[in-house]
């Protein structure tokens, strides 16, 4: 199966076009204590239906090494005390921040949470040096998405002001030959009707 990967960026905080408020109340809170267990839960719960498999074989130590680096942040959307989605930011050299993971748990899709969470996560990418004094101020925020991701992903990124700068076909690691992992077998639920 051919998989298309799109690379998008913002080059200034003024590029961010915030989304309207979601249909339900949501709190977005930074998970300040690195927790491999919690991060793996988010990764599988959000990415299981979209072929996110790259980190599944990671050990606890690999997760901790990833999460415990300066400039790595996990921001979680909470609805009524329940995780609704997350955005993971990773600082890179030269004032660059990658949105390395972003998505919603299935129950939160279609409620306007995705645009709101992406707006907040992108704003936090732009002000990351305020929380990490040893980092350079952010000059660029980038991410990638692929044709295996949720059907609204690319449109959401563009609506938040991200601009396409590269497109590639069949990037290694985009597709897993083993099928959809899911948080457990058969976890895929039908997406809500957007009407």
* Residues 53-89 as b or e (16 or more Cβ within 10 Å = b): beeeebeeeebeebbeeebbbbbbbebeeebbbbbbb
Q: At the top level of CATH, which class does the domain 4-169 belong to?
A: alpha beta
- pLDDT number for residue 47: 87
Strand partners, 10: 141
Indicate the pTM of the whole model. 0.87
- pLDDT number for residue 35: 93
- DSSP, res 190: P
- pLDDT number for residue 50: 81
Q: From start to end of the chain, where are the E strands? A: 4-10, 27-30, 72-79, 82-92, 96-104, 140-146, 163-169
- pLDDT number for residue 192: 52
How far is CA 124 from each of CA 12, 35, 183, rounded to the nearest angstrom? 13, 20, 28
Parse the chain into domains and list their residue ranges: 4-169
Q: List the chain pLDDT tens, one digit each, 195 residues.
A: 788 889 999 999 999 999 998 889 999 999 999 999 999 999 999 988 888 888 888 889 999 999 999 999 999 999 999 999 999 999 999 999 999 999 999 999 989 999 999 999 999 999 999 999 999 999 999 999 988 888 888 999 999 999 999 999 887 655 444 444 444 444 444 555 554
């Amino acid at each position: 199966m051919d998989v298309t990967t799109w690379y998008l960026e913002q080059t200034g905080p003024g590029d961010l076009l915030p989304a309207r408020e979601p249909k339900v109340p949501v709190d977005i809170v930074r998970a300040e204590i690195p927790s491999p267990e919690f991060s793996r839960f988010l990764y599988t719960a959000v990415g299981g239906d979209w072929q996110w498999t790259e980190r599944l074989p990671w050990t606890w130590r690999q997760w901790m090494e990833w999460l415990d680096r300066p400039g790595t942040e996990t921001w979680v959307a909470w609805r009524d005390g329940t995780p609704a989605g997350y955005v993971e930011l990773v600082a890179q050299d030269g004032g660059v921040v990658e949105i390395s993971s972003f998505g919603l748990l299935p129950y939160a899709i279609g409620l306007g949470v995705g645009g709101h969470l992406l707006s907040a996560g992108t704003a936090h990418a732009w002000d990351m040096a305020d929380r990490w004094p040893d980092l350079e101020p952010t000059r660029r925020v980038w991410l990638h998405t692929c044709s295996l991701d949720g059907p609204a992903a690319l449109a959401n990124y563009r609506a938040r002001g991200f601009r396409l700068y590269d497109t590639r076909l069949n990037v290694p690691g985009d597709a897993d030959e083993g099928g959809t992992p899911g948080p457990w077998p058969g976890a895929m639920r039908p997406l809500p009707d957007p009407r």
